[in-house]
Amino acid sequence: MIEKKDHNGEWSPEEIKAMESLMTKNETGLLRYATRILNDPVAAQDVVQDAFIKLFRRWRSGKPQPAKVSSWLYRVTHNNAVDYIRRESRLRDLHQKNKEEECAQESTAPHGDLSNDEKMKMVLEQIDILKPQEKQVLILRLQEGKSYREIAEITERSEGNVGCILHHAVHKLSNSLRESGALKR
């Protein structure tokens, strides 16, 4: 590995070539490996990109480079893939729980219930109790109809974090609406 010699933070042409060479040499195999683990080529690209970013940061910080960079990249890719699977699993569980709660609320609601427009108006009136990040995520989801992935891109958060924030925001709002009598207990 080439050691970082430039003290002003700039990369030398040799360093750039070395990093590009490492990426060219390892990218295809890492993508194939991650795709097999995840069964999702798009997610595999993200996982492999994160592995290269970790290598870049390690290189950039002056930490000693792994003796076998290729093996290190496979290990980091594997760990990133496992983390991705866990995160997606938690997100699916959260979605399922929210869906079950919605179904339970719908089944206990009286037939002469409020229209969707009236419900939306009540929710938006109560939105000031939320933290700014909760407001942002809730508005993007409810008013703008954005997907979790789109919200994650807009807010520069992970999809799991978006789901968690949205869950807490909905929970706060539902408690507030129950206390105000707008929702049945």
pLDDT at 174: 83
Q: What is the mean pLDDT of residues 157-180?
A: 84
Of 77, 85, 84, 83, the C-alpha closest to 23 is: 77
Give the pLDDT of residue 64.
Answer: 65
Give residue 80's pLDDT band: very low, low, confident or very high (50, 70, 90): very high
Would you state the CATH architecture of domain 13-84? Orthogonal Bundle (1.10)
Which tens digit of pLDDT belongs to each residue from 7-16? 466 778 888 8
Q: Which of 4-13, 34-43, 76-85, 142-151 has the lowest mean pLDDT?
A: 4-13
Look-up: residue for tokens 């979790």?
A: 148
Return the pLDDT at 107: 56
- CATH class for domain 114-185? mainly alpha
**pLDDT given for residue 102 in this prediction:** 73
State the helix-helix crossing angle for 69-108 and 13-38, rounded to 10 degrees: 50
Neighbour count for residue 5 (Cβ, 10 Å)? 8
Domain ranges for the chain:
13-84, 114-185
The whole-model pTM stands at: 0.50
Q: Give the pLDDT score at 83.
A: 92
- Look at 112 and 98; give whichever has higher pLDDT: 98
Confidence bin at 97 (pLDDT 50/70/90)? confident
Residue 91 in contact with residue 163, Cβ under 8 Å?
yes
The mean pLDDT value for 107-130 works out to 66
